[in-house]
Amino acid sequence: MSNQRQRTIVRQGSPRYQYALPAIAAAASMTFAPDIQWPASVKYSPLDLTEISNLDAVDVNVILNGKSIYVVPAYTTRVIDDYSVRQIRIENRSATTASIINMITVSCERQPMTADMASRV
């Protein structure tokens, strides 16, 4: 990738990539990798902003890169920033209720560099 293209990505960030999850059985999980789910996102890697919108009646765990766990209660949205994502696993915390198709969405993007970020570099 050219230096000019890299500078543009740093200044402007990336498009937002969104995935509406299929139904997840009770006490089950699903895993996906952003670079496989959204092949066009590879040129913007690493994606460092993740938004999980849970419009379902079940609580879910979000596990990023196999180690960082975040709880997203029913009917809420959670934003996780400044964390480079290579793998996302969504776990249904309910032991009896499956999630409904398309009620949980995951969005990822590369944030543009802010003045705060530039001062940390």
In a domain, 48, yes or no: yes
Domain with 86 in it = 3-112
How high is the pLDDT of residue 113? 77
Work out the widest C-alpha separation in the chain, in whole angstroms.
Answer: 52
In a domain, 59, yes or no: yes
In a domain, residue 30? The reply is yes
Q: For 38-74, write each residue's pLDDT tens digit.
A: 999 998 988 999 999 999 999 999 999 999 899 999 9
How many other C-beta atoms are found inside a 10 Å radius of the C-beta of residue 106? 21
**The domain that contains 53 carries what CATH number?**
2.60.120.10
pLDDT of residue 3: 73
Say how many domains are in the chain.
1
Is position 118 within any domain?
no
Does a structural domain hold residue 120? no
pTM of the entire structure? 0.86
What are 79-83's contacts with CB under 8 Å, separation 24+? 79/49, 79/50, 79/51, 80/49, 80/50, 80/51, 80/52, 81/48, 81/49, 81/50, 81/111, 82/48, 83/48, 83/50
> What is the identity of the amino acid at 75?
Y
